[in-house]
Amino acid sequence: MALALNREELSQYLTEVFPQVREDFAIDDLTEDTITMRLLTAERHLRPGGTISGPSMFALADVCVYAMVLARLGRQALAVTTSCSMDFMRKPEGNTQMIAQCRLLKLGRSLAVGDILMFSEGSDKPVARASMTYSIPPQGSAAAQFG
């Protein structure tokens, strides 16, 4: 139950393997089984009316669980998303950043599961919830398969 990468190492590794992360997301906090990330809201994340798009919220939830798995397993891991569910509960504020609080519920030999609550920064009413399952590559394998 120890972290293989600390917050700085994780942040640097994410930007190496996943360059678009750098402009879109930042890591606020990391523990052994939680991560808090934020969407650096920009024009490209918005929908008409000034609300944050569904795909941007999906991406935020997805990167949280991916980052959490990397933080625990280290640089060699190449996990893939196998399933997700999301509920959209309130209109997000388009002119604020979005905060995602993720818990790692399971890190098994082949599957990892995390759940996520998302908030407009400064509000305590959840905008959306998500759960994400990742398939984890076997030891020594370069990449996960879809199972």
- The SS3 assignment for 25 reads strand
Amino acid in the structure at residue 143 = A
Taking the complex as a whole, the smallest distance from the CB of residue 93 to its own copies amounts, in Å, to 14
Residue 85 or 95: the one with the smaller Cβ distance to its own copies is 85
Q: How far is the CB of 146 from its own copies (least distance, A)?
A: 6
Q: Which residues bind its own copies (CB under 8 A)?
A: 17-19, 47-49, 53-56, 58-59, 62, 80-91, 105-106, 108-111, 113, 115, 117, 126, 129, 131, 133, 135, 143, 145-147
Distance from C-alpha of 70 to C-alpha of 13, rounded to nearest angstrom: 9
CB of 54 to its own copies, least distance (A): 5
CA distance 141 to 34: 26
